[in-house]
Amino acid sequence: MARGVYIHIPFCHQICHYCDFNKVFFKNQPVDAYIEALGQEIAMTVAQNPEAFQQIETIFLGGGTPTALSAAQISRLLEIIRNFIPMQNVKEFTSEANPDELTEEKLQALFDGGVNRLSMGVQSFDAGLLEKIGRTHSNEHVYKAIETAKQVGFTNISIDLMYGLPGQTMEQWAQTLQTALALKLPHYSAYSLIVEPKTVFYIQYAKGKLHLPTQDLEADMYDMLMREMEAAGLVQYEISNFAEEGNESVHNKIYWDNDEYAGFGAGAHGYLAGVRYSNHGPIKKYIETVQSGMRPLVHEHAVTFEEKIEEQMFLGLRKVDGVTFESYEKKMQEPMQKRYGETIEQLVKEGLLQLDERGIRLTRQGRFVGNEVFQQFLT
């Protein structure tokens, strides 16, 4: 049974240099036809699996950039969602947003349509770094967007930050954190740059023209991040996420709990009835397939028991609370120690895992090398 819904809006007015998500430039795209096709896909999928959608807790609009749409297009999209997705248990409805696209009209359309959480891509408060990574907003756009969002009625606002950026210094990172925390928002996400294939940065990296901070400097930035967030009274609940108590992202927790969710839209991924799937990425192919009366699936994979176990561990260990023995045994019908006893014992000795009567979790030291720890739970 799905707990969440992800809806992909693949349109952008500007392509960021680090982004590898399925996206296209907004201009000359069949945006209205895409929105209607989304409605068809959602209606079709819900009709085929009505029981799977009765307990939906969260909806997340991602991209691309949902706020690349006009206010009228946003209103139509949200109308479609309310028409076809059972909303009775939805407690968190998030939209990603670019600060320089958040007009009062768009914010009102989002709020009136049921969105109650904004996740804003800020990345940095340094103008030079923003230009270097392909962002088009200014700090003033951020301040204005947050102020207007609050006036419209939004109280749950999150911003994304990035570190390990090309040429970024500790001073620049400290200033970004100071500026971000001065906004006193209930939620912050902060991610280190990963150079992904098919991005502008990947091309630069391949040519030796992308000058990144050293691993030691990036680790220092992460250390500063954790210290500054804690000093501001924010609780780290996942490797990259910090929140006031009660404002943790429910939608992202669905992923880390390895629970099921539906994915709609071009290039979207989902996990329903034990099957992980992905949709056609090209906009035209997506629309044509849906209009023909078929779900736009390009790949389906029935998750094996072994894979489910591995996913439970490496996703769950991203959470600061880690993986409990109870949740593991409930899903896997076997005690965690049966399969991972020796692995856990070794990682505890190395100071990377903490073990108690509830379960296991990364130590503070372990958070710095999370991916290396996760690999130990892959067979």
Kindly indicate the confidence band of residue 323, based on its pLDDT and cuts at 50, 70 and 90.
very high
| Residues 246, 114 share a domain | yes
183 within a domain of the structure (yes/no): yes
Kindly indicate the confidence band of residue 24, based on its pLDDT and cuts at 50, 70 and 90.
confident
The domain containing residue 331 runs over which residues? 322-375
Say what the alpha-carbon torsion angle 197, 203, 207, 212 is, to the nearest 10 degrees: -70
Q: What does pLDDT average to over the chain? A: 95
CATH number at residue 191: 3.80.30.20
Give the count of domains, the chain: 2
State the pairing for strand pair 235-238/241-243: antiparallel
Say what the alpha-carbon torsion angle 178, 249, 253, 221 is, to the nearest 10 degrees: -10
Say what the alpha-carbon torsion angle 83, 81, 262, 58 is, to the nearest 10 degrees: -110
| Residues 347, 238 share a domain | no
Whole-structure pTM value? 0.95
Residue 15's pLDDT is 81
State yes or no: pLDDT of 23 exceeds 80.
Answer: no
The pLDDT tens digits of the residues spanning 104-128 come to 999 999 999 999 999 999 999 999 9
State yes or no: pLDDT of 21 exceeds 90.
Answer: no
Stretch 202-211: mean pLDDT: 90
CA triple 226-230-235, angle to 5 deg: 95
Residue 320's pLDDT is 96
Tokens 């230009």 -> residue:
131
Main-chain dihedrals φ then ψ at residue 271, nearest 5 degrees: -145, 100
336 within a domain of the structure (yes/no): yes
294 within a domain of the structure (yes/no): no
Kindly indicate the confidence band of residue 97, based on its pLDDT and cuts at 50, 70 and 90.
very high
Kindly indicate the confidence band of residue 156, based on its pLDDT and cuts at 50, 70 and 90.
very high
| Residues 346, 239 share a domain | no
Residue 13's pLDDT is 83
CATH number at residue 354: 1.10.10.920
Residue 22's pLDDT is 76
Q: Which residues contact 352 (CB under 8 A, 6 or more apart)?
A: 362, 363, 365, 366, 369, 373
Residue 219's pLDDT is 97
The pLDDT tens digits of the residues spanning 264-311 come to 999 999 999 999 999 999 999 999 999 999 999 999 999 999 999 999
Residue 221's pLDDT is 98
The domain boundary residue, chosen from 212, 234, 256: 256
306 within a domain of the structure (yes/no): no
Stretch 163-171: mean pLDDT: 97
| Residues 102, 243 share a domain | yes
| Least trusted range by pLDDT, from 95-99, 206-210, 334-338, 350-354 | 206-210
Report whether 26 contacts 80 (CB < 8 A): no
State yes or no: pLDDT of 49 exceeds 80.
Answer: yes
